[in-house]
Structure 1
Amino acid sequence: MPGVLAFNDTLGQTIPPDTPHAVSVSLPTWSANVGYEEGQDWVVSKMQTGYPRFFIHKTIQRLASSIVAKHGHADEMAMLFPSRTVANRCVNFFSKQNSSIPEQQIRILDFVTNPQKAHADQGKKVLPKLSAVLYPKEHWPIAKAFWQHSGDGVSSRRAEFCERAFHDGSMVEKSTVAEIPRMRKGPRRYQRQMSIDDHELDGQNGTNESESFIDGIDPSQFVEERFGRNLNVAFAAHAKLAIRRRIAGSLTANVDLHEALQKPEEIEKRRDLEGFSVDDVYLYPTGMSSIFNTHRTMMLARGAQKSVMWGFPYVDTLKILEKFGPGAQFYGHGSAEELDDLEKRLEGGERFLALFCEFPGNPLLKTPDLARIRALADKYDFGVVVDETIGNFLNVNVLPYADVVVSSLTKVFSGDSNVMGGSAILNPKSRYYTELREVLGREYEDNLFEEDAVFLERNSRDFVSRIARINANAEAICDVLAAHPKVKQVNYPKHSPSRHLYDACRLPHGGYGGLLSCTFYTLDDAKVFYDHLRTAKGPSLGTNFTLSSPFVLLAHYQELEWAAQYGCEACLIRFSVGLEDTAALKSIFLSALDAITSNESQ
């Protein structure tokens, strides 16, 4: 059984420590979180990394600077994207946010494999490529907003891969290449559907050399030694297929990749919906990318209309609806009264593209009334998009109520806090299914970097076994907090007034998830508790270790009064509970609670 992750109060260190592609960073004190939000040098200068959509990884920054130094001007910066298509969306965002910027000041450079360094087996290897949007430095806030909201920027592993190729000349700017030879190219999506008995990786005796290398040694060492710049396309495609099968619910066993792809589809279907298959699962580079692209897909399929943001949202979901479409009707409380108001609007003739919600919400863990929302959607013709990241599909089944289910695979599906990913799932019973599939057939790009897929597949193998323990630990911490007189309110689906709505979608063996939050009666109490809490402390959630954060402070520092009117107070602390020993974890929380009392007596 995993032990408690050693508490580390080193400001700015990666979480987990010494992890080059970590998706969290240590902000161990309340003042450190304030300093980060205010851009204070004593915090920012020490940060080795940060959450990737908010803090651009230093490898990405370095490659972008190298590209500008070679192909740009001193007054320019660059944003890096996995494809020309995504780069074009960034350029369009510039023009919409500031139409006064001269068109020639925003330009795209495409980087491709240098044909002079091509090999005979090049079609079997992942090739370095990316697109860079160069823009004047003063417009950095616009570029950063697109990066953050869309979630479609390059990953740090892709940047690392391409940086080596850029400096050794095997990746070059496209205009410098006289003629680019045609490479083997299959269908748009995953080259092709990989058969479960396809041994393209090795070609002999059904053995998988790549898999035998990765089992038993450090994955970072494996990828570097085995692949370098020669990551096998077929192996990465197999990893993606296994990921999609896990998301579909047809692969639940903790087995290596080779065995996973030999196993027949399991009889028990977690999604349990007639007509549903792995072909309805789409992968994205981040969870926010899955939301951003689902919104795009909905607009292309149904026409641009205003959407509904239901419940207090994760910050960027609302921004996507507001900035990349006709806008949003925001219902921040997610209450029955607000649902009444929505129904009145619909009865009065107002129409919407789709309703976006989280199940349950973050950070208040309120559960939307999906049955009533679905009934209104069917009657008044709007889509329903449900983010199941917090509940996760081993605890709840929300697909029957949704047209599309989105999720961040970065979180508990991975658990290791070292890779980004996202998914979108189509409901084959949706009235929009045919139109959505047609749009995705034209528009979908698989931009999940192959090396990221290798790590994501490996991390997710024990997903099923982890969830039960995380559920149990979260309930135990919920009870500890709820029993303490200094805690004003605990937010957790099991003890929420909306529990009956959660239970309506809860699976027979499902629990209430690993995320909870609490508020304190005073801000001072919250600060003392946080500073004395000996867990990992930083952004993100769904980690295999307990991770704590003053979430409202981090997500809404510039709009604290606005957030408070929806019940999200500045003294709220969010906990993503991990796999630690339950008794030890309870002791850690009790000790931090005792510190509040001790502080008052001084």
Structure 2
Amino acid sequence: MHFDTLALRATHQSDPTTGAVVPPIFLSTTFARDEANELPANYIYTRPNNPTREALEKALAILEGGVTAMAFGSGQAAAMTLFQALRPGDHVLLSADAYYGTPALLEQVFHPWGLTYTRVDMSDLDAVQASLHENTRVVWCETPSNPMLSITDLLLVSQLAHEVGAICVCDNTWATPVLQRPLDFNCDVVMHSTTKYISGHSDVLGGALIFKRDNEFTQRVRLLQGLSGAVPSPFDCWLVSRGIKTLGIRVRAQSLTAQAVADFLDGHPAVEKVHYPGLSNHPDRELIQQQMNGPGAMLSVQVKGDAPKALQFIGRLKLFTRATSLGGVESLIEHRASVEGPTSVTPKNLLRLSIGLEHAEDLIADLAQALA
């Protein structure tokens, strides 16, 4: 079944009581028992389970090819709950180029608690293997990575993880299941910030974990999800489900525009380097074609000059909004090092672009006048 059909089928549940084509939002925090003090359905309180959240979780599992999924109040809440399921003394191997919030969680929250972690270039398989220990429990990949768009060979990295008894987790926020399904490449867990492409309209905060197997570790994560209450509201779940309906067509359209923008920027005299999986000169082009169904709508560009030069450039843009986040219908740009703070290792002249649904010619014209 094609993705667009799958996405609509996964989120289309007509209300059996009224026949409403759009499913209702179950805002109730609690659920009544019958005369025998029994629960008519498997709901007691909305923190451990809610019908609207359950519908979203089922849809996410279908889209990623998993057996079960869990929705969270944010992507960070999803990552935090997974790390909480580990034990003090466990080791995490983390991609060197990853969303800056992930190593921040490990360093500021879990390292004092007893977790150890190592950051490694996931494109260097020898380095990955050398960094695995007997106590490694999680290998955390992000591909394409944020913000350098480096590519990880998911099949080989997951194989290395399994050889030491670790699970392989992939942050699939940028690629989305439209372009990449990590569970098909033997990963064990997929993580999403559903705030981004899956909801797609910059109006809801959310996260998710999708599991290849429903095992003891999965059940521990679900227990922590319910105990901690790191869950999204029913309305937020409904908004994310609504975004899924148009996910395929949005991502494909945005990717086509991103390709045109990257081709324009690549080789421009004012540009030092473009990072984009769709470029013909990308060093991992063969792997990208094997692993992904398209290059995506995110790209990074290093302009010639220093940080002030990069900031002057984005200050001249008219159609790009200078804002953090990504995956919405509007095009965004940001100076990534400024957002990440003083410990950032991102090049100071790098700008991250999230391409929206504006016409490619308009965005290219805007970039051209700003670079002139």
Q: Is the CA contact 2:15–2:22 (under 8 Å) kept in the aligned structure 1?
A: no
> Which consecutive segments of 4 or more residues in structure 1 shift more than 3 A?
194-198, 207-211, 229-239
Deviations 1:53-102 (Å, cap 9, x if unpaired)?
xxxxxxxxxxxxxxxxxxxxxxxxxxxxxxxxxxxxxxxxxxxxxxxxxx
Give the corresponding residue for 2:40.
none
Structure 2 distance, partners of 1:209, 1:457, is 11
Q: Which of 470, 479, 494 is 2:263 aligned to?
A: 479
Instruction: Work out whether 1:497 is the aligned partner of 2:283.
Output: yes
Counterpart residue type for residue 291 of structure 1: A
Cα distance in 1 for partners of 2:105, 2:51 equals 32
Matched, 1:552 2:330: no
Aligned twin of 1:175: none
Residue 100 of structure 2 is matched in structure 1 by 315
What is the match of residue 67 of structure 1? none
Q: Which residue type is aligned with residue 286 of structure 1?
A: S
Is 2:214 aligned against 1:436? no
> Cα distance 1:326–1:522, how it changes in 2: closer, same or farther (>3 A)?
same
Q: Distance in 2 between matches of 1:196 and 1:459?
A: 15
Aligned pair 1:575/2:353, yes or no? yes
Q: CA RMSD in A?
A: 2.9
CA distance in 1, matches of 2:131, 2:347: 30
CA 1:379/1:230 → structure 2, altered by over 3 Å: closer, same or farther? closer
Structure 1 length as normaliser, TM-score? 0.52
Measured at CA, do residues 230 and 570 of structure 1 come closer, stay the same or move farther in structure 2, by a change above 3 Å? same
Q: Label 1:504 to 1:351 Cα distance change in 2 as closer, same or farther (>3 A).
A: farther
Which residue pairs with 1:71 in the alignment?
Answer: none
1:385–1:405 contact (8 Å) kept in structure 2: yes
Q: Flag the 1:485–1:426 CA change in 2: closer, same or farther, 3 A.
A: same
- Cα distance in 2 for partners of 1:440, 1:569 equals 36
CA contact (8 A) 1:546 1:579 kept: yes
What is the one-letter code of the residue matched to 1:329?
T
TM-superposed CA distance for 1:289, in Å, is 1.0
Structure 1, unmatched stretches of 5+, are 1-193, 212-222, 250-269, 595-602
- 8 Å CA contact 2:14–2:21 kept in 1: the answer is no
- Return the match for 1:515 from 298, 309, 316: 298
User: Residue 321 and residue 417 in structure 1: after superposition, are their counterparts in 2 closer, same or farther (change >3 A)?
Assistant: same
Number of aligned residue pairs = 335
In the aligned structure 2, how far is the partner of 1:515 from the partner of 1:493?
9
Counterparts of residues 196-345 of structure 1 (less than 5 Å): 199=16, 203-204=17-18, 206-207=19-20, 237-249=50-62, 270-272=63-65, 276-277=66-67, 280-297=68-85, 299=86, 304-322=89-107, 323-324=109-110, 325-331=114-120, 333-336=121-124, 339-345=125-131
Shift in Å, 1:548: 0.6
Q: 1:230 to 1:295 in 2, by over 3 A?
A: closer
User: Quick check: 1:311–1:361 contact (8 Å CA) kept in 2?
Assistant: no
Residue 584 to residue 385, structure 1, CA distance change in 2 (3 Å): same
Could you tell me how far apart the structure 2 residues matched to 1:230 and 1:295 are?
A: 30
Aligned AA (1:313)? A
- TM-score when normalising by structure 2: 0.81
Higher share of residues assigned helix: 1
Three-state SS of the structure 2 residue aligned to 1:489 is strand
Change (3 A) 1:463 1:584: same
Give the match for residue 416 of structure 1. Answer: 201
Instruction: Please give the alpha-carbon distance, in whole angstroms, between the structure 2 residues aligned to 1:232 and 1:455.
Output: 21
- Higher-Rg member (1/2): 1
Deviation for aligned residue 1:293: 0.8
Question: SS in structure 2 opposite 1:579?
Answer: coil
Q: Residues 488 and 413 of structure 1: is their aligned pair in 2 closer, same or farther, counting only changes over 3 Å?
A: same
* CA contact 1:311–1:334 (8 Å) conserved in 2: yes
* Cα distance change of structure 1 residues 393 and 334 upon mapping to structure 2, 3 Å threshold: same
How far off its partner does 1:460 sit? 3.0
Q: Shift of residue 284 of structure 1?
A: 0.5
Letter in 1 for 2:219: E
Alpha-carbon distance in structure 2 between the residues aligned to 1:319 and 1:437: 24
CA distance in 2, matches of 1:387, 1:209: 30
* Superposition deviation, residue 319 in structure 1: 2.0
Instruction: Name the amino acid aligned to 2:217.
Output: L
Aligned pair partner of 2:250 in 466, 478, 489 = 466
Alpha-carbon distance between aligned partners in 2 of 1:545 and 1:232, rounded to the nearest angstrom: 38
Once the two structures are overlaid, the 10-residue window that deviates more, 363-372 or 386-395, is 363-372
Secondary structure in structure 2 of the residue aligned to 1:580: coil
* Aligned counterparts, 1:19-38, within 5 A: none
Q: CA deviation at 1:241?
A: 4.0
SS in 2 for 1:541: coil
8 Å CA contact 2:70, 2:210 repeated in 1:
yes
Q: Taking structure 1 as reference, are residues 516 and 230 closer, same or farther at Cα in structure 2, changes over 3 Å only?
A: same
